Every structure is written in C-alpha cells, then in structure tokens.
Homo-oligomer: A and B are copies of this chain.
Amino acid sequence: MATSDQTQMAVLGGLSIAPMTGYALREQIRDALGHFWAESFGQIYPALAALEHDGMIERQSALRAGSSTFAITPQGSARLRDLLAEAPQAAKPRNGVLLRLFFGRQLGEEACRRLVEDTRATAEAELAAMRRIREELQTDTAPDAPYILLTVLAGEHAARASLAWADEALGVLDGLATAASPAATVAREHS
C-alpha cells in the first residue's frame, strides 16, 4: 500500500502550513504545488491514515459530520524536517513531446511542427500564470513567501526556456521544409 516518504513529505508539509481536511489538502497540493508536484486521492488518504497511526498527525474535532481536519503533531514536525533534509531523489524523466520529436522522421514534419506549436502555447500560458503569482508573492510578507517565490521563479524560467526552445525548433523545422520543398515554405511564410 505504499504511502511513500515522498507523499508523506508533501502531506506533512501541507499540514505544517495549516490544519485541514484531506480534501482541502489535495486542493492545496494541486493549486500551490501543481506545477512541480502531484498527488492523487488514492495517495493522500492512505498517507493520512498511516501518519495518524504513527502519531505524526492528529484528527481534530469535525467541522461537520463525516469529516475531520488533520493537524501536525510535534513528532510530525520533526519527521517533516528529517524528510526535507534527505537528498531529493530524481524523478524518472518522461517527456512525451521530446520522445515523439526524436522519432520525428517516422511521425512526419507537419505533426512535429504541431507538437512544437502546442508546447509553445502551453508555455506562454504558464509564463503568464507564473508572472501573476510572482507579482502577488512579492508583496506578501508571510515568512513562507520568499521560499514559495523560489518555486514560482523556477516555473517562470522553465516556461521562458520552453518558449525560446519552441521558436528555435520551429526554425529548424522550417530549414527542413526548405531543403525538401522550397515552395511549401514560401507559401507558409506568406500565410
């Protein structure tokens, strides 16, 4: 049944900011950590059960029938610090766009172009979202704000890099098209 260290770290971290229900925790993880971390319900509830069993968190009075908020205990805070101090383990990389481009000759140049254009559009939206969040954070005086800012800056740099790459990649694909069929490229450039 798993409930790995990694998930426990995210759950304890979330509860270290404020006590909340499992449902709220999942929303917090999706909204605040979403651009670099993910947990599903199927991970969160077993993790909460295991952490409660070990005394790392405790159930507080129910706000309403059938629900309960969880709060971190002193042992839980200590465990969180231990987990955070462990060396981060690299997630196995899996970039479906790059895999498709690597075998792009089989896929065809036009489909590759569409993949790059979609990536570019996603990066543009991501960049705008990150900028908005950063501007809010820079006026936030909460003690966690500067640390959260670091993660938002990472998202901003990643989005900008994705954008710059997409533009360069489209140039490479244009070069391919020119070599194969100059007329088609001229037509596209004038469209």
Contact = CB atoms under 8 A, between A and B. Distances in A.
A101 B158 CA distance: 16
A96 B101 CA distance: 27
A157 B161 contact: yes
A149 B168 CA distance: 11
A135 to B, nearest CB: 15
A91 to B, nearest CB: 4
Interface in A57-94: 77, 80-81, 84-85, 88-94
Given A13-B106, A111-B85, A164-B157, A99 B37 contact: yes
B13 A99 contact: yes
Describe A's contact surface by its main secondary structure: helix
B102 A13 contact: yes
Interface residues of A, number: 64
A99 B112 CA distance: 33
11 contacts: A36-B99, A38-B92, A38-B94, A91-B94, A91-B96, A102-B147, A105-B144, A150-B169, A153-B169, A157-B164, A160-B161
